[in-house]
Chains A and B, each alone.
Chain A
């Protein structure tokens, strides 16, 4: 019996002009956004690869100079884009994707497209993730708000139920029939996405396809939850118009209101300093130290070295005391950075956790979080790369200061290293976190989305049982 309901719902829907036009519109936007995202991702990858190669070449061919000068010369690190970033660009346009690694400083990321975007671009930038998170649910609402309420108004529901068909069979058939019609739109998009994924540069991750499969499952769960919710409302609403208005309100709250409220609330509860305040605090602490982190003193440093080597004058040291002091200063700076950036990242994490919890009010928050996570464009993976880049910077500084310390003497300002040293510094080989790491970080979002899915299905089941014929 369900087979007949599914077939009828599918046929009825695909013959409906409204479905065709809405599907063409949403499908076109989805395909265009996928294509645009893919082209952008590929372009960014090529630009980053070229820039990375150029930066490396500049590093290796910088000529002979003092290693500490080379440390100031620095290198650029570019955050590699994961293959799935063409689906969801996440926070990358706001956080930036490249950072200059130099001595004494932990610089902010550069290349933030959002900074250069016009106001219209900031509002209107369309990604596949946005289409999937906002327009597909809207399409589901438009297709299902009248599933029961419309049939009740038209009078077909009485005739249907008079045949002996059960409410639950009817609901399941309608859900599957609508899913079948939606599949006409989503399966080609998914295939296009899969093809793009296969053709895309995999990026620094072992299993882009596994990430893609999980991402597809996340969106599938989201759509099923919306479908069940819409059917539940349609079953109980007095009229199709009431069902539509209610579901549109749900859509607005889910997609527009709740995510903004969640962000504002998390910022209010866990405030972060402005970029200016943050920079000023770091600068002040770098200049004076803190109660627990003292700024290194060159005299003390020298005295320690003299004691260690059993000599009385720095000129007699077998190493360069200035290089050792510079490394001490570097490590002092690192502690200041760790203290300030650590607190900042922790605040971001608390904000993120609160936002994930607030997905209980709107599943779009959970889907957005998971989507960015699986695409490798969320804050946590930005932090993962930033940490890797900072670790690389510290190793680089240690190597430069170490070379200066070991291969020159105090007061010898003529020491210069060459290509051999520069080439001995390995390029930054970033390995993105595993799928397990991503999902482990997003357990809360997974749980909330699962709860939404189960809740919506149970609600639909309960509401359909209590529905009235007329």
Chain B
């Protein structure tokens, strides 16, 4: 069991995996993952379905227990500091699901309150929603009338309101139109500039190259390569990705 470490103090990565593994029965979903994400870094996990991307996010969220290794958030072991580690995280899934009978403001207020930001006034909540790209007029409407893109923006607003150190994104632009995807990328960029560390699981190579600072390619639970997006072009990334996915095509 890992000793409690000091919360993020510059040198401590915001998100860190140390030999992190997860088995489901005889199947190894994640195999000895090591990675560290510093403040202001956007790390994109690429890989086909079943590569272990969502398992990695679930381990950081404490939704599943690791079979080996540790998931750390700002130096806190998720397994032993479930609540404290979650307080420092924000999570946006592929489909942000909200409460249909509540408005965008009410949903944001609720999730923010549960995340420890219970005293935000209505005005501030609207500001955050607008900052996340939602039309201010839509903020008071019930979310049953929202499009997927609007719901994703509320998800971003929840992350902003929480003032989290780190952001976990699980296929956040899947199903969004190009405009909405670009807006989403811009929001991630803004959060990155504020020093938030981001771990994004995605199939979207273009978005990974465009938004990420580093890219990790996963296949059958293993991190097979890591790249700096500043050093490669879009075509390089696609080529390398396909090489790794093809070369390691056989199930281990």
Which A residues form the contact surface with B (CB < 8 A)?
A: 1, 4-5, 8, 11-12, 15-16, 154-156, 158-166, 469-470
Contacts and interface: CB of A to CB of B under 8 A. Distances in A.
A11 B106 contact: yes
Interface stretch (B31-39, B107-115, B213-221): B107-115
Contacts of B111: 159-160, 163
Contacts of A470: 63
Given A11-B106, A161-B63, A164-B87, A1 B113 contact: yes
A8 B83 contact: no
A116 B206 CA distance: 81
Given A11-B102, A164-B83, A156 B63 contact: no
B22 interface: no
B101 interface: yes
B61 interface: yes
Interface residues of B, number: 32
A154 B162 CA distance: 22
A5 B91 contact: no
B93 A158 contact: yes
Nearest to B91: A162
A164 B115 contact: yes
18 contacts: A4-B109, A4-B114, A15-B101, A16-B101, A155-B97, A158-B93, A159-B91, A159-B93, A159-B111, A159-B155, A160-B114, A161-B61, A162-B89, A163-B111, A163-B114, A164-B115, A166-B83, A470-B63
A158 B62 CA distance: 11
B102 A12 contact: yes
Tell which of B63, B110, B113, B114 has the most Cβ of chain A within 10 Å. B114
Contact of A4 (B82, B113, B155): B113
B140 interface: no
Contacts of B61: 158, 161-162
A1 B97 contact: no
B43 to A, nearest CB: 18
Contacts of A161: 61, 63, 86
Contact of B102 (A8, A163, A166, A469): A8
Given A158-B93, A160-B114, A162-B86, A11 B101 contact: yes
B157 interface: no
B249 interface: no
Contacts of B106: 8, 11
Nearest to A169: B114
B86 A164 contact: yes
A302 B9 CA distance: 113
